[in-house]
Amino acid sequence: MSIKPILNRFDLTVIVISLVIGMGIFATPSEVAIRGGNAWIFFGAWVFGGIISLCGALTFAEIGARFPATGGFYKVFSYCYNPAFAFMINWVVVISNAGSVAAVALIGANYIRPFLLPAHLQNDTGTRIITITSILILYAINFLGIKMSARAQTFLTAFKIIMILLICSAVFKSNATAAVITAAVPATGNVVAAFGLSLVAVFFTYTGYQQTINFGGDIINPKTNIPKAIFFGITVVILLYLAINYAYFRVLGIGGLQQTPALAAKMVGVIFGSTGYKITSVMIFLSVLAYVNVNVLSNPRVYYAMAEDGILPPIFKKVNEKTQVQEFGMSFFVGAIIIILFFVASFGDMLKYVMFFDTIGMSLAAASIFVLRKKTKHLDGSGIYSIKWFPLVPVLYILTYWFVTVSIFITFKDNPYAILVCLAVYAIGLLIYYVGTYKRKGDNHAI
C-alpha cells in the first residue's frame, strides 16, 4: 500500500515541536549546570546542542523520505544493516525507552515528594517509592483498557508551552533578581569533559525529532516543506529553551540551578509565592503521569512488530479482544521500568544510561543515510528531500553523538558494573534474536 502525502508544512512543524518538547526542560537544566559549572558552558551546551539537533532532524528527514516504511528504526536498520544487528540495536532502544520513562517519572516524583512524604523520606528512597507507586497505578488503569485521547495530548503540548512562557515571565517580576544567588560549584575535570557531560542532559531534552523518520512519505511537496518545517520547528524549540534557561539563570544563577531539581515550581513560586509553587508541582506531576501513560500504551506496539517478524514469542502480539490491551507486552514494559528503578533512583545517573544507549542507536541510525543514498540512488532528482550540505550535516551529527558516548563511557571507568550492564543488554538482544530465529526455522521445518 502506497503512502499518500497529506501533511503540510504547518502540520510537520507542530509535529516536530510536539515530539521534542517533553518534561526534560523542567529538570535537565539543573543537570547541565552541575556538569558545566559555569554560565559559558551552560549556555554554550544549549546553543550547540540545538544546532546539532537540527543537523540530526534534517538527516532523519531524508532517511524518512528515502525509506518511508512503518516501523521506523527497526525497518531502516534491517534494510541497511544485518537483521541481527538491527534487532540488537532496536532491542536496546526499547530498553532505553523504559529508562527514559523512568527518568521522566523521577522528575515528577521530585516535584511532588516534598508534599507527600515525611522528612526522613526526602531522599532517593522516597523518590523511588513515589515513582514505582505511580507507575503501578497507571499500569492498573491501562490494564482496564483506558487510553489517552489525541485531544488530551494536544492540550498537554499546549500546556507545556504555556508553562515555559509562564516560567520565562519570572524575569519580569520586580523582586526576581533579589532571589538568593548561591555560589556555583565548579565542574570537575577539564573544559572538554565538562562540555561533553553537559551535552548528555541537553541532548536528552532535545531528543524526539528522530521520529520524523516516520513522516517522509506523508508530506506534501517534501523537497521544500520537510527542511523548512524542521528548521522552523527546531528553531522554535531552541528559542523556547534558551528563553527558559535564561530565566532560570537570571533568577537562580548557576549555583541555584545546581541545587534546584524542581525548577518549574521554584520559578512560578517567584511570581505567585508558595501557593504557585505547590500548584505547579502538582501540575508537573500530572503532566509526567500523562507522558508515562502514553508510553505504557505505545511502546508495547514495538514488541508487537518484532513478534510479527517471529523474533519475539507470539505472546508479545497477543491482544485482549475486549480492551485492546497487549497485556503481556505492557506487563513486560512496566516490569522493565520498575527493575531499572530498583537499580537507579537518581535522575542524573538514569540520564547517563539512557543517553549512552540513545547516542549509539541514533548515531548508527543517522549513518544509515550513506547506505540509503547508494541503495535508493534511483530516487535522486525525483523531488524527495535531500540534505543540502551533505555529508557535512550527518557527519557533524554522528561525530558529536560519539563524543557524548565517549564522555559517558569515561564516567563509567570507575564503575565496572555499569559497563557490564550496558554490554549485557546488547548481548541479551543478540541472544533473543538468534533463539527466535532458530525456533522459527524449526517451526518451518516441522511444517
Chain segment 128-139, per-residue pLDDT in tens: 888 888 888 877
- The pLDDT confidence band at residue 337, using thresholds 50, 70 and 90, is confident
CB-based contacts of 415, cutoff 8 Å, min separation 6: none
Q: What percent of the chain has pLDDT over 90?
A: 6
User: Is the per-residue pLDDT at 177 higher than 70?
Assistant: no
Q: Which residues pair with 7 in a beta bridge?
A: 219
- Other CB atoms within a 10 A radius of the CB of residue 392 amount to 11
User: Is the per-residue pLDDT at 147 higher than 60?
Assistant: no
Q: CA nearest 94: which of 320, 329, 272?
A: 329
Most confident of the ranges 115-119, 187-191, 345-349: 115-119
- The pLDDT confidence band at residue 184, using thresholds 50, 70 and 90, is low
More confident: 52 or 432: 52
Which residue, chain included where needed, has cell 570507575?
Answer: 414
Distance CA 219, CA 383 (A): 12
Question: If you average pLDDT over residues 246-260, what whole number do you get?
Answer: 83
> Of the given ranges (168-177, 280-289, 322-331), which has the lowest mean pLDDT?
168-177
- The pLDDT confidence band at residue 48, using thresholds 50, 70 and 90, is very high
Question: If you average pLDDT over residues 226-249, what whole number do you get?
Answer: 85
Q: What is the pLDDT of residue 178?
A: 43
Task: Tell me the pLDDT tens digit for each residue of 391-437.
Answer: 999 999 999 999 988 888 877 766 667 778 778 888 888 887 787 77
DSSP 208-246: TGGGGGG-TTTBSSHHHHHHHHHHHHHHHHHHHHHHHHH
Q: What is the pLDDT of residue 106?
A: 81
More confident: 97 or 346: 97
Query: What does the radius of gyration of the chain's CA atoms come to, in whole angstroms?
Result: 22
Torsion of CA 370, 371, 372, 377, to 10 degrees: 90
Task: Tell me the pLDDT tens digit for each residue of 310-331.
Answer: 777 778 777 777 666 677 888 8
Q: What is the pLDDT of residue 396?
A: 95
Q: CA nearest 336: which of 373, 288, 291, 299?
A: 299
- The pLDDT confidence band at residue 49, using thresholds 50, 70 and 90, is very high
User: Is the per-residue pLDDT at 151 higher than 60?
Assistant: no
User: Is the per-residue pLDDT at 274 higher than 90?
Assistant: no
- The pLDDT confidence band at residue 267, using thresholds 50, 70 and 90, is confident
Question: If you average pLDDT over residues 191-197, what whole number do you get?
Answer: 84
Distance CA 101, CA 293 (A): 9
- The pLDDT confidence band at residue 97, using thresholds 50, 70 and 90, is confident
Q: What is the pLDDT of residue 402?
A: 92
> Of the given ranges (42-46, 143-147, 158-162, 239-243), which has the lowest mean pLDDT?
143-147
User: Is the per-residue pLDDT at 46 higher than 90?
Assistant: yes
Domain chopping of the chain, boundaries: 9-99+152-264+307-321+356-446
Q: What is the pLDDT of residue 1?
A: 39
Q: Longest Cα pair distance anywhere in the chain, in angstroms?
A: 78
C-alpha cell of 33? 549546570
Q: What percent of the chain has pLDDT over 70?
A: 78
Q: What is the pLDDT of residue 394?
A: 94
Whether residue 103 contacts residue 347, with contact meaning beta carbons closer than 8 Å, is answered with yes
Question: If you average pLDDT over residues 235-250, what whole number do you get?
Answer: 87
How far from 167 is each of 241, 248, 250, 332, 336, CA to CA, in Å? 11, 8, 11, 37, 34
Task: Tell me the pLDDT tens digit for each residue of 15-35.
Answer: 778 778 767 787 788 888 888
Q: What is the pLDDT of residue 174?
A: 47
- The pLDDT confidence band at residue 181, using thresholds 50, 70 and 90, is low
Query: Which CATH number applies to 9-99+152-264+307-321+356-446?
Result: 1.20.1740.10
Burial 231-254, CB ≥16 within 10 A → b, else e: bbbbebbbebbeebbebbbbbbbb
User: Is the per-residue pLDDT at 2 higher than 50?
Assistant: no
How far from 445 is each of 83, 294, 436, 439, 441, CA to CA, in Å? 21, 40, 14, 10, 6
